[in-house]
């Protein structure tokens, strides 16, 4: 070793691995949220580095709205199987049938219905901690998060009731019924995520790379034209070469016109971008505080 100094990716990796191990040491029943998106892909790699050659000591949890991209679900299932992990999928459709989630009349998106579905899964398996891939650079409400984000017995987040984190000391105590959301990637940026994917040679779903897709123009952005997003009168439809920067469900994920068909191309594109990745998510445009309102109810 020629130098003991860490580069920025090594520092972020070391910090995240430390937090992963803190979770394993402090909590009895943690879970790792895994959707198959780029952030959760990095989380799985960090978990491998934190715990191998032992098994990853927590199951993988995903809330499926029923409106996910097929490519994403295929990748999620395959990657979990490769790691020999236990994948728990809880579906919004099942939560609706059980009366756990109640759709708003006339609303197609199931984004808000993920909240009761997730909270029901946490209660079902008595998870006392859920690890997520949220980053502070994504959105202003995310920037208020601590590494260890306390949730009360209703699963709610109060930005004024978070615990101080002095240096790398974390207060992980929770009472029965309460739980913690933990975000090891808090200090990462979108660029860091892709540089880490490049360095570790990690596979990602194909929809992150440019491909041809029929899209329709709605509220200033291109959405994938599917059975869940029917075309309205006067809306423009085109076949475009697009990719996604951030993946929600198929109804709320905006497509970005892009020729980027490799990780190197994506890194160069992000370096020149002046719009945050969440700028392409329709669910964040409902109001100025859309994300914070959902987080207060129990959203990630």
Q: Is the pLDDT at 242 greater than 60, yes or no?
A: yes
For residues 193 and 288, the model is more confident at 193
Q: Which of 18-32, 108-122, 277-291 has the lowest mean pLDDT?
A: 277-291
Q: Which long-range contacts (CB under 8 A, 24 or more apart) does 3-10 make?
A: 8/192, 9/192, 9/195, 9/196, 9/199
Q: Quick one: average pLDDT of 241-251?
A: 87
Core vs surface per residue 104-128: b (16+ CB within 10 A) or e: eeeeebbbbbbbbbbbbbbeeeebb
What pLDDT was estimated at residue 300? 63
Q: Quick one: average pLDDT of 124-144?
A: 87
> Are 250 and 229 in contact, with CB atoms under 8 Å apart?
yes
Q: Is the pLDDT at 9 greater than 90, yes or no?
A: yes
- Residue 296 confidence class, pLDDT cut points 50, 70, 90: low
Distance CA 282, CA 167 (A): 36
- Residue 278 confidence class, pLDDT cut points 50, 70, 90: low
- Residue 253 confidence class, pLDDT cut points 50, 70, 90: confident
Q: Is the pLDDT at 211 greater than 90, yes or no?
A: yes
Q: Is the pLDDT at 17 greater than 90, yes or no?
A: yes
* pTM (2 d.p.): 0.88
Q: Is the pLDDT at 285 greater than 80, yes or no?
A: no
């Amino acid at each position: 070793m020629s130098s003991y100094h860490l580069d920025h990716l090594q520092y972020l990796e070391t910090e995240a691995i430390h937090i992963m191990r803190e979770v394993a040491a402090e909590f009895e029943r943690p879970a790792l949220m895994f959707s198959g998106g780029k952030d959760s892909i990095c989380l799985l790699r960090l978990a491998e580095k934190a715990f191998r050659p032992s098994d990853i000591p927590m199951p993988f949890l995903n809330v499926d709205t029923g409106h996910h991209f097929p490519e994403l679900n295929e990748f999620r299932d395959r990657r979990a199987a490769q790691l020999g992990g236990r994948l728990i999928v809880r579906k919004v459709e099942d939560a609706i049938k059980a009366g756990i989630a109640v759709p708003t009349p006339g609303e197609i998106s199931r984004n808000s219905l993920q909240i009761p579905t997730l909270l029901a899964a946490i209660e079902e398996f008595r998870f006392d901690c859920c690890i997520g891939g949220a980053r502070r650079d994504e959105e202003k409400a995310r920037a208020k998060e601590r590494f260890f984000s306390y949730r009360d017995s209703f699963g709610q987040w109060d930005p004024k009731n978070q615990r101080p984190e002095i240096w790398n000391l974390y207060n992980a105590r929770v009472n029965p019924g309460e739980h913690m959301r933990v975000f090891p990637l808090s200090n990462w940026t979108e660029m860091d995520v892709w540089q880490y994917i490049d360095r570790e040679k990690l596979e990602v779903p194909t929809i992150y790379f440019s491909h041809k897709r029929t899209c329709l123009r709605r509220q200033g952005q291109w959405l994938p034209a599917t059975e869940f997003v029917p075309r309205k009168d006067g809306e423009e439809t085109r076949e475009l070469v697009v990719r996604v920067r951030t993946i929600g469900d198929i109804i709320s994920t905006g497509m970005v016109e892009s020729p980027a068909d490799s990780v190197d191309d994506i890194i160069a594109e992000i370096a020149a971008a002046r719009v945050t990745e969440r700028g392409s998510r329709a669910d964040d445009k409902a109001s100025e505080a859309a994300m914070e309102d959902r987080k207060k109810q129990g959203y990630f």
